[in-house]
Structures are given as C-alpha cells and as structure tokens.
Structure 1
Amino acid sequence: MDFALTGEQEALRDTAAKYLADERAHADADRAWTDVTGLGWLDPELGTVELALLAEQLGHARSPSPWWATVGLAGPALRAGGRTLRRPATLAWAEESGPGTLAALLPPARSDGDVSCTVAADGTLDGRKVAVPHAGEAVDLVVAVAGPDGVELRLVDASALHPAPSDAGPAALDPTRPAATVDLSGAASTPLVAAHASGDVLAMTRRRTLTLLAAEAVGVATRALAWATGYATARTQFGRPIGANQAVAHPLAELYGQVETARSLAYRAAWSVDAEPGPVADRAVATAAVAGREAATTACEAAIQTYGGSGFTWEQPLHHWYRRAWWLATFDGTVSDLRAELAALLLDGTTGQDAPGR
C-alpha cells in the first residue's frame, strides 16, 4: 500500500476544491450536473480512493449534488448491469415494514421474505419504498425487489414516477439531502442484477456508500475546524486573540488530531474497498464511518462553542454544516450500530446484525 497520494489524485482533489469554491457550482442544478459529468467525476476509471477525494471536497462545500447517491448507492448495480453513469441516479431499498438499512439486505441478516416490493413476470413492480435519497432528482432508480429466486435489483425510469417528499424543505434534518417515498405500483422495470449476484453487489454498494460518506464527513469536519481556528485567531479580547487561551486552543488542537485520524481512516477504507474486499474491507469501512461521523459532529460543536454567542444563532452558516454532520451520523444506522458491527467483525467474525443489542 502506498500511503501517499499520486500526482493525479492530488490534481483531482485540487481541481474539485477549486470548482466547488465557486458559488456558480451550486446555483443551477442542471449546470452543476453537466459540470460534474464534464469534469469526469462519473468516469468508470475512478477507483474508490479517487471518489473519496471528491466526496471529501463535496462535504467541505456542503454540496447538494446527488453525485454521491449516483456513484455510491446506484453505481455498483448500474455498473454490474452494464450501464454507464451519466444521469442522476439513486437506490430504493428501505420499506416501512421491511429492511430499513442496507445492512438488513445483506447475509446473514437478510431474509428474502422481508422485501415486500415484488416484480411480476412482465417486469412491472408492486409496492413502495421509503426514505429514498434524492428521489426527486434521480432519472435512474435502482430498486431492490423480491423476485422468484430471491432479492434482485431492477432499473426503473424515475422520470415517470411521482415521489412524495418525506424529509425535504426547511424542516428537514439537512434540506440538501432530501428523501422521498416512492410508489412503484405498476412501474415498468428492467433487470440489472439477478438474485444470485445481488448480495455481492449490495455489499459493495454499502462499502462504497459508507466510505464516501466517511470522506464527506471529513470534509465537513475540516470546514468547521477551519472556521473555528480562523475565528480563534482573528477574534481578540483584552488585547490578544482568544486562541491564546488554553481553554480555546487545546480543544481545537485535539480536534485537529481527531480530524486527521478520520481522514487517514477514510483513505484506508477507500483503498480497502477496491484492494481487500470482504471482511478486511468491512472492518476498515466501519472504522472509518465511526471516526468520520464523530469527527464531523464534534468539529461542528466545537466551532459553535468557539464562536460563542454568535455561534448559537441561526444566521451562523456553520449550522448548515452541523445539519449535514447529523445527517451523516444517522445514515444507515447510528454510530452505536456501527460500533456494534465493528465489534462483531473483530471478535467473532459475524456482522453487526448478530451483535448484542442489535
């Protein structure tokens, strides 16, 4: 393993940072997606390490782009089905009375009978999915359905559907990460991944998605830390910067170490997803997900505290990143769930679904 980024990887990261720093990158959704395609962020040549570098910058900018849902959630199934990534896409897997997390779709936790969305002989679907990320923006919708031989993944043209927003608007945890309920009754579909291969594809989907979100969390933490240290340097009281006080400086120094550790673990997980599939990658991904989520929430809270009274007002932009941090902390299970999964992987080789307390 090479612990240093290559020149091409550094150039990709720096180009992404420069592009996302421009307000025009977020002003128009259609243009932003065209730019993402033109910049090559959907190219099949990009490995998970390169995707993680992009995700980190997207988190730093708090981008509302459905890019992560396209390459993380839908990408593995679309690639496995011989499709190219050119349009916004997402994955629909959660159900009200069925699997709520990606982990619930993986062996040994998975029971094919838990998936109530079914497919008929002519390819039409019956059922609905809940909490579908970016459903309103997706053109390609990958759906986990119960087929005659088990759970399979099928492709639906989302432009013909009418998602009902379930976590969107100002009241949402993070308005830039909308979710919706999708009624699939009568929707036409085409096969992507057969039942015998869906387990492996879903496992890759979860590894890649959690890794990209761990990297995104590092970007959120980095942004919050930069704000906090900048304010601690510029804000003066009694003739000197507030950062000169140990009560301010020491927590930020400890936070820097936490963020850098989370970054290293995210890069390690990204490398493992491609190079060490299986239990080794699962352990690396779970570790990175825990570290990234905790770094993001801790960094935002520390930054709010550093700003003092002004940090607690809604006018402070930091709160938008704090919302993203909490969204990240709850996606596909909580930090406690991931810790239980990691403990099970380390202690007895089972998945987190069999860990005590799950």
Structure 2
Amino acid sequence: MDFAFSSEQDMLRTAAREYLAERHPLTGLPAIIDGEPGWQPESWQPLADLGWTDDELTLLDQVVLFEETGAALLPAPLFSTVALALPAVRGDEELRAAVASGDLKLSLAWAESGRPQGIADTGLATTADADGRVTGRKILVPDAAWTDELVVTVAGPQLRLVRTADATVTPVSTSDRSRRLYEVEFDSAPSRALGDGSVLAEMESRAFVLAAAEALGVGRRALEDGIAHASTREQFGRVIGTYQGVSHQLVDSYASLELARSLTYWAAWALAEGDDQAAVAVAAAKTAAAEAAVNACERVIQVHGGVGMTWEHILHRLYKRAQWLEAFGASGRALRGRIADAVLG
C-alpha cells in the first residue's frame, strides 16, 4: 500500500505555503490580531476561491492545508468553519455549498461551564424546545464573532444551527490573540435542526486530527526560527549552534515533531478509512503533536535567550497557539487515558 502523498497534495502544500507567505506573512500578523476585529474579513473570499473551505477536500488534504495555516497562525475562521463545524452540515447540500463558496462562516459551540469540555461529551445544559428555540450558555467558542452561524450542541444530544446575530456574543480574554474565544448566550434563539448527536464522536476525531496538523505547523515554524538564529548568532567567537547545549535541544524538537507528524498522518488515514485503530491513532496524534509544538516553542525561546517572549518577537505568539492546541478538547493526560483503555481493555 502506498502511503505517500499524491502529487495533488504536494501541489496543495506548495501553493498554500506560497500563498500564506505572500498574503499572510508572520511579520504582518501582530498589527492584525492586536487590533479589531482581529482579522481581515476581506481575506475570507480568496481562501474560499482557493477551495480551502470545500468539503470535497479529503481529510488528508485538510491535514496538508492546516499544517501550513498553523505555521502562518492564519487569523481567519478557517479552523472553526472547516475543522469544527463543517462535518455537522455535510448532510445539507445548501449549507455545504454556502461554506464552499465563502458565503457562510461557521463555528461550533459545544463547551459549557462546569462540564467536560470534549466535543462528544453529553449531559448538556443547553436545550432546544419543541419549536427549536435554543436556550443556554456556551463558553470558549472559537471565532464566534467572526461567523455567520453557529452549530450548537444541545441536550439530547442534538445539533442545531443558530444565526450568530440571534445570540449574545461576548469576547473572552485569552493569551492567543490569533484565535479568539467567546462566550455565547442563547435566549430562546430560533434554530434549525442539523441532526442528532451520532456524529459528535467523528466531529471530535476530525477536529483533533486537524488540531494536530496545526500543531505540526506551529512547531515547524518555531523550529525553523530557532535553527536560523542558532546558525547566525555568535557567542565566545563561535556560532551558538555548534554548542551541544543548543544543537541538542533543536534536534530533540525535530525528532519529536517528526514522530508526531507520522502519528498525525496515520490518524488521518485511519479515520478516513474507518480503521479499527482510528480512535487510538487520533488520541496519540493530538497528544504527540500538541506537546511537540509546545516543547519546540519552549526550547527555541531558550535558544533565543528569552528574547522570544518579548512582545515584538513572533515566538511567543506561536507558543500561545501551541498551548491552546494542547488544551483544546481534551488534555494529553485524558487522551493517554483513552489510549490505555483501548490497549489494555
């Protein structure tokens, strides 16, 4: 069996990297995300025109894409629309077409205060009455203010689609300004049914795989910065990369990221093929990739002598995204528990 990427996927990777370098360089990121609204709405349509919001992309295609958008810290509701919400509207051709054309931006509202934060967790307090009116409060909703509609998990479980304008959206102060989070209040908000909760487990798995892909991009970008710095910075008459205390940290980061990359590609393949090991692969990929990205950022900050945490440097922004990805959905400890349960029974 050939596990190599297709020529089309290689072209997608190259095209995405070149487009993001030209249109969304990291050097211009702070001015965008530290201001309001935190992104450039006019940048959305070109992303749709490139086909990045099209559900025709396979999961492996999306992994290739999100590795590049992660490296760019792309400030746009692409993760919330494609990785989180798009699987919920797959059965509605009109909604799928609207997302693909760029006419519809989405996010998923699933987390509730005082309850487990996994997408597939049940026992929800948010409800929908007989008329489909949604009442409840969701927390930590990615990009909510940037969207047109929200996919909301409600008791049942069910999935409902609510216009963002029919909810009260309040920003939450977080460290990662490139991925803004919101509290969303629903007070008898009208909605339309999207289906029951049978797709939630698959939605969570797909989101974890694409979060892992993002983490690979974040870690890769941090490591590239560290290698460039270690190759030019001199101390005591030598380039600092020649010191083992520096080079070994970078090599360890590279090895961890490569292992995580293999796990992520395995998880994407296993999930797409319905393999029996998909659940284990997804948990392993998300854990390994997020932790590798966090560790890479921390090591590269050390290689820079701490300057990476200054406001002007991009490293602290990569680090904050890596930390968000590590916490997203389930902790590494919780995911290791899933792996242990699956392996040990």
- Alignment TM-score, normalising by the size of structure 2: 0.90
Q: How many residues align?
A: 328
User: Equivalent residues in 2 for 1:145-294 (5 A)?
Assistant: 145-146=154-155, 150-167=156-173, 172-193=174-195, 195=196, 198-199=197-198, 201-276=199-274, 279-294=276-291
How far is 1:51 from its partner?
0.4
Superimposed CA distance per residue, residues 192-222 of structure 1 (whole angstroms, 9 cap, x where no aligned partner): 11x3xx22x1111101100000010000110
Look up the equivalent residue of 2:193 and give its one-letter code: P
1:326 maps to what in 2?
323
Please give the alpha-carbon distance, in whole angstroms, between the structure 2 residues aligned to 1:218 and 1:72: 15
Given that 1:99 and 1:115 are in contact with CA atoms closer than 8 Å, whether structure 2 keeps it comes out as: no
How far is 1:6 from its partner?
0.8
Matched, 1:139 2:148: yes
Look up the equivalent residue of 2:329 and give its one-letter code: D
Extract unaligned runs of 5+ from structure 1.
Answer: 106-113, 349-358
How far is 1:23 from its partner?
4.3
Given that 1:166 and 1:179 are in contact with CA atoms closer than 8 Å, whether structure 2 keeps it comes out as: yes
How far is 1:304 from its partner?
0.6
Say what the alpha-carbon RMSD is for the aligned residues: 1.7
2:3 maps to what in 1?
3
1:53 maps to what in 2?
64
2:312 corresponds to which of 302, 312, 315: 315
Given that 2:257 and 2:292 are in contact with CA atoms closer than 8 Å, whether structure 1 keeps it comes out as: yes
Given that 1:103 and 1:332 are in contact with CA atoms closer than 8 Å, whether structure 2 keeps it comes out as: no
Please give the alpha-carbon distance, in whole angstroms, between the structure 2 residues aligned to 1:36 and 1:159: 23
Superimposed CA distance per residue, residues 285-308 of structure 1 (whole angstroms, 9 cap, x where no aligned partner): 111011101110110011011111
Please give the alpha-carbon distance, in whole angstroms, between the structure 2 residues aligned to 1:297 and 1:20: 22
Percentage identity across aligned positions? 41
CA distance change for structure 1 residues 11 and 256 in 2, over 3 Å: closer, same or farther? Answer: same
Matched, 1:71 2:85: no
Look up the equivalent residue of 2:105 and give its one-letter code: P
How far is 1:313 from its partner?
2.8
Please give the alpha-carbon distance, in whole angstroms, between the structure 2 residues aligned to 1:219 and 1:73: 18
CA distance change for structure 1 residues 235 and 333 in 2, over 3 Å: closer, same or farther? Answer: same
SS in 2 for 1:127: strand
SS in 2 for 1:132: strand
2:110 maps to what in 1?
93
Please give the alpha-carbon distance, in whole angstroms, between the structure 2 residues aligned to 1:310 and 1:116: 45
How far is 1:24 from its partner?
4.9
SS in 1 for 2:168: coil
1:347 maps to what in 2?
344
Matched, 1:12 2:12: yes
